[in-house]
């Protein structure tokens, strides 16, 4: 067994030993071995991070936009140079395959490239002569300190793609609460941020802690905005508390994305897309397709083909290049997924494929769950409405497009939704009527590029401005509208004479 490394937290560009008595374990998901411990930082240490970000804000926000942009260009190249290193680290601590982990890091780089365009995308507007002699301009200016509260499932993309780039490029400073299950990737990026990026101290600060200690991020008046990704229960809490304290909030929450498969679909490509979407990242992503609503006329054929392809997947060590499906993040999460599978069986679903007892030779202590399929699931079954966050496919059978759409829209979550069909009319009706915020037409994972907002709806999102795109710029800035009027020499002299005459009369 390798030595368990005790990690530090980063404030004002310096790595510090925590005074906590509580340490949180980090595992290699493929072996089950604990490889590090991170501190459950104290409230004083979080306040120290807020103070550092607050102190760094004036100078950073007043730095020229072109200077900040040049630093973002440099930062993008640093991340690319360390792509392989960060990929392996992500695969080890989370369980993503090497290809998936590489995608995680690349999805952090993409928004960094967007942030390089800040001089263009953060422009305001102006009009001359709005009334005689008066001009008005509206600018976008930074908020101050923003807090990012991060989930475990994308340790590179979410903190260093969704949160940091647009926040700092627009002139804000940041306190990141990294995910305690998977903090190592984020911590390594934090090291690079100061060691190679050369950013001013305090622009980004990183802590690890429990929900209790992080409550100060929601109430401290120096924090002006909170961006969060995680469960709906926690998202609702963060939204209500932070908003009550006058902060802006983005709360990206749970999902139960549905795919509608019609009888005229290209069956082979549809199954391939659903395999990739449902079992990619071991189902631990909010844009997975855990529910397939399939037209009854092709349901048996669809399920048979889905099972065949799922059984052909190679389950194994995350950092083995031949692996198709890696482990889940830890033992607790594995048990949660297995409990959900059993609950589905108890509720009356048909267990077509059971991945609970899979064993990977040489990695017997890893946190593996194989592909699982539950058929004949109804809306009354909780397994069909609640997020499992694992490699589990739920099958719901419907008679036609109308019934399928109704089943999908009845779900309280609306992060994404997908239709597989060759019928243009149904595709357009779906695009028009689905509740999903991100919609796919014959696309299994309809995640937009960073130039568009990541736009969940209903219980999948709380807030006004979504993540990334122009929404992201608006979230991290506020409007300042300036109206100007200048006197010419004659009118100025006339105004002064009038003023002096008034003074003499007084």
pTM for the full predicted model = 0.94
Q: Are 226 and 326 in the same domain?
A: no
**Residue 271 belongs to what domain range?**
258-441
Spatial distance between the Cα atoms of 226 and 234, rounded to a whole number of angstroms: 13
Q: Could you tell me if residue 495 is inside a domain? A: no
- Sign of the Cα torsion 356, 358, 363, 369 reads negative
Q: Could you tell me if residue 94 is inside a domain? A: yes
pLDDT in tens, 118-134: 999 999 999 999 999 99
DSSP annotation of 454: B
Angle in degrees, 0-180, between the axes of helices 184-195 and 98-115, rounded to the nearest 10: 40
| CATH code at position 207 | 3.40.605.10
414, 441, 468 - which closes a domain:
441
Q: Are 435 and 468 in the same domain?
A: no
Q: Are 55 and 177 in the same domain?
A: yes
Query: What's the confidence (pLDDT) of residue 379?
Result: 85
Spatial distance between the Cα atoms of 319 and 339, rounded to a whole number of angstroms: 27
Two tokens, residue 459? 């219980």
Two tokens, residue 1? 């067994």
Q: Are 242 and 333 in the same domain?
A: no
Q: Could you tell me if residue 97 is inside a domain? A: yes
Task: For residue 91, count other CB atoms closer than 10 A to its CB.
Answer: 27
Q: Where are the alpha helices (DSSP H) in 312-366?
A: 331-346
3-state SS class at 382? helix
Q: Could you tell me if residue 276 is inside a domain? A: yes
Query: What's the confidence (pLDDT) of residue 498?
Result: 63
3-state SS class at 26? strand
Query: What's the confidence (pLDDT) of residue 497?
Result: 66
Q: Are 437 and 471 in the same domain?
A: no
Query: Closest Cα partner for 376 from 294, 257, 273, 265?
Result: 294
Q: Decide if 302 contacts 365 (C-beta within 8 A).
A: no
Kindly report the backbone phi and psi dihedral angles of residue 465, in degrees, each rounded to the nearest multiple of 5, phi listed first. Answer: -115, 130
441, 472, 498 - which closes a domain:
441
Q: Which of 41, 265, 286, 317 is catalytic?
A: 286
Q: Are 295 and 149 in the same domain?
A: no
Under the phi-then-psi rule, with left for phi > 0, alpha for psi from -120 to 50, and beta for the rest, what region is 25?
Answer: beta
Q: Are 467 and 394 in the same domain?
A: no
Distances from the Cα of 302 to the Cα of 269, 353, 420, angstroms: 11, 14, 12
Q: Could you tell me if residue 446 is inside a domain? A: no
Query: What's the confidence (pLDDT) of residue 502?
Result: 58
What stretch of H or E contains 353? strand 350-353
Number of alpha helices (DSSP H) and beta strands (DSSP E) in the chain: 18, 23
Q: Could you tell me if residue 492 is inside a domain? A: no
Q: Could you tell me if residue 386 is inside a domain? A: yes
Q: From start to end of 87-178, where are the E strands? A: 125-131, 134-142, 145-149, 173-177
Total of domains in the chain: 2
- Sign of the Cα torsion 364, 367, 373, 378 reads positive
Q: Are 249 and 263 in the same domain?
A: no
Spatial distance between the Cα atoms of 221 and 19, rounded to a whole number of angstroms: 25
Q: Are 305 and 427 in the same domain?
A: yes
Query: What's the confidence (pLDDT) of residue 495?
Result: 59
Q: Are 234 and 326 in the same domain?
A: no
Written as one string, the DSSP assignment of 395-429 is EEEESSHHHHHHHHHTSSEESEEEEE-S-HHHHHH
Two tokens, residue 102? 């590489």
What is the CA angle 23-25-26, rounded to 5? Answer: 135
441, 467, 492 - which closes a domain:
441
Kindly report the backbone phi and psi dihedral angles of residue 462, in degrees, each rounded to the nearest multiple of 5, phi listed first. Answer: -130, 125
Q: Are 350 and 221 in the same domain?
A: no
Contacts of 236 (CB under 8 A, 6+ apart): 251, 253, 462
Q: Are 468 and 436 in the same domain?
A: no
Query: Closest Cα partner for 415 from 394, 435, 433, 436?
Result: 436
Distances from the Cα of 336 to the Cα of 55, 193, 381, 486, angstroms: 42, 35, 17, 68
Largest CA-CA distance found in the chain, in angstroms, rounded: 100
| Burial degree of 95 (CB within 10 A; 0-12, 13-18, 19+) | buried
pLDDT in tens, 428-454: 999 999 999 999 999 999 999 999 999
Q: Which residues pair with 229 in a beta bridge?
A: 252
Spatial distance between the Cα atoms of 99 and 101, rounded to a whole number of angstroms: 6
Sheet of strand 125-131: strand arrangement: 125-131, 134-142, 477-485
Q: Decide if 423 contacts 367 (C-beta within 8 A).
A: no
Q: Which residue has the tokens 């497009």?
A: 401
Residues in the chain: 506
Is 281 one of the catalytic residues?
A: no
Q: Which residues pair with 482 in a beta bridge?
A: 137
Spatial distance between the Cα atoms of 467 and 472, rounded to a whole number of angstroms: 5
Query: What's the confidence (pLDDT) of residue 504?
Result: 59
| CATH code at position 279 | 3.40.309.10
Q: Could you tell me if residue 128 is inside a domain? A: no
Q: Which residue has the tokens 């999460």?
A: 333
Per cent of the chain over pLDDT 70 is 96
What stretch of H or E contains 495? helix 489-505
pLDDT tens digits, the chain, 506 residues: what are they? 567 899 999 999 999 999 999 999 999 999 999 999 999 999 999 999 999 999 999 999 999 999 999 999 999 999 999 999 999 999 999 999 999 999 999 999 999 999 999 999 999 999 999 999 999 999 999 999 999 999 999 999 999 999 999 999 999 999 999 999 999 999 999 999 999 999 999 999 999 999 999 999 999 999 999 999 999 999 999 999 999 999 999 999 999 999 999 999 999 999 999 999 999 999 999 999 999 999 999 999 999 999 999 999 999 999 999 999 999 999 999 999 999 999 999 999 999 999 999 999 999 999 999 999 999 999 899 999 999 999 999 999 999 999 999 999 999 999 999 999 999 999 999 999 999 999 999 999 999 999 999 999 999 999 999 999 999 999 999 999 999 999 887 766 665 666 566 555 55
């Amino acid at each position: 067994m390798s030595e368990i490394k005790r990690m530090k937290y980063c404030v004002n560009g310096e790595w510090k030993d925590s005074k906590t008595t509580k340490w949180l374990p980090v595992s290699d998901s493929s072996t089950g071995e604990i490889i590090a411990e991170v501190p459950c930082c104290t409230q004083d240490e979080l306040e120290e991070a807020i103070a550092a970000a607050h102190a760094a804000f004036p100078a950073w926000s007043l730095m020229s936009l072109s200077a900040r942009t040049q630093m973002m260009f440099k930062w993008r190249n640093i991340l690319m140079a360390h792509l392989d290193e960060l990929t392996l680290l992500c695969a080890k601590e989370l369980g993503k395959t090497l290809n998936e982990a590489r995608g995680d890091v690349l999805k952090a780089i993409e928004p960094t490239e967007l942030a390089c365009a800040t001089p263009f995308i953060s422009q305001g507007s102006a009009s001359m002569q709005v009334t005689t002699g008066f001009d008005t301009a509206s600018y976008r200016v930074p908020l101050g300190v923003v807090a990012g509260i991060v989930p475990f499932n994308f340790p590179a993309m979410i903190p260093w793609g969704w949160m940091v780039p647009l926040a700092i490029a627009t002139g804000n400073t940041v306190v990141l609460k990294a995910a305690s299950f998977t903090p190592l990737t984020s911590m390594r990026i934090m090291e690079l941020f100061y060691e190679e990026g050369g950013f001013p101290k305090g622009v980004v600060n990183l802590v690890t802690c429990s929900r209790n200690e992080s409550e100060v991020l929601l109430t401290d008046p120096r924090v002006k905005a909170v961006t969060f990704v995680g469960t709906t229960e926690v998202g609702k809490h963060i939204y209500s508390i932070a908003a009550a304290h006058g902060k802006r909030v983005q709360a990206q929450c749970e999902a139960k994305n549905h795919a509608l498969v019609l009888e005229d679909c290209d069956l082979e490509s549809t199954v391939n897309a659903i395999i990739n979407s449902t079992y990619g990242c071991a189902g631990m992503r909010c844009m997975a397709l855990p529910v397939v609503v399939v037209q009854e006329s092709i349901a048996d054929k669809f399920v048979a083909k889905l099972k065949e392809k799922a059984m052909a997947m190679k389950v194994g060590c995350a950092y083995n290049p031949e692996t198709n499906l890696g482990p889940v993040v830890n033992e607790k999460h594995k048990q949660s997924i297995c409990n959900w599978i059993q609950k589905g069986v108890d509720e009356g679903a048909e267990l077509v494929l059971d991945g609970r007892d899979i064993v990977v030779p040489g990695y017997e202590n890893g946190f593996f769950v194989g592909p699982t399929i539950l058929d004949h699931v109804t809306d009354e079954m909780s397994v069909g409405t609640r997020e499992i966050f694992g490699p589990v496919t739920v099958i719901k059978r419907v008679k036609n497009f109308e019934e399928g759409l109704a089943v999908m829209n009845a779900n309280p979550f609306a992060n994404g939704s997908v239709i597989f069909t060759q019928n243009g009319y149904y595709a357009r009706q779906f695009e028009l009527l689905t509740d999903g915020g991100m919609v796919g037409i014959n696309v299994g994972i309809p995640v937009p590029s960073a130039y568009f907002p990541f736009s969940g709806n209903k219980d999948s999102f709380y807030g006004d401005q979504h993540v990334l795109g122009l929404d992201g710029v608006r979230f991290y800035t506020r409007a300042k509208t300036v109206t100007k009027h200048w006197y010419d020499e004659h009118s100025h002299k006339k105004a002064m004479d009038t003023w002096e005459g008034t003074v003499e009369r007084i």
